[in-house]
Amino acid sequence: MKRLVFTEHAIARLRCRRIERDMIISVVNNPSFIVVRDDETEAYREFSKGLLKVVYTEKERFIIIITVYWVDGDEAKDNI
């Protein structure tokens, strides 16, 4: 399994949005669905708080988490 690396931006978003790292790991490892755009992947998973979106890119040995945020269902549908 590739190691997760969080950008400074992603860490800041985690803190201000009160998202736990375990949730990010869950989304990346077991997404409800994904959207691939160029070299970035958008992974989505439903939690009791709502739908969590994780944007990341994959390198040879790493998954680099770019940003994370809660989305509503309409935004997710628009991106599929």
Residue 18 φ/ψ region, left for φ over 0, alpha for ψ in the -120 to 50 degree band, beta for the rest: left
Model pTM score: 0.88
Q: Which domains can be identified in the chain, with CATH numbers?
A: 3-78 (3.30.2310.20)
The per-residue pLDDT for 1 is 74
The per-residue pLDDT for 48 is 92
**pLDDT range class, residue 25, cuts 50, 70, 90:** very high
- The residue count of the chain comes to 80
Quick one: average pLDDT of 31-57? 95
| Nearest alpha carbon to residue 72 among 52, 55, 48, 56 | 52
If you average pLDDT over every residue of the chain, what do you get?
92
Residues of the chain with pLDDT > 90, as a percent, come to 85
Examine the pLDDT at 73 and tell me if it is beyond 90: no
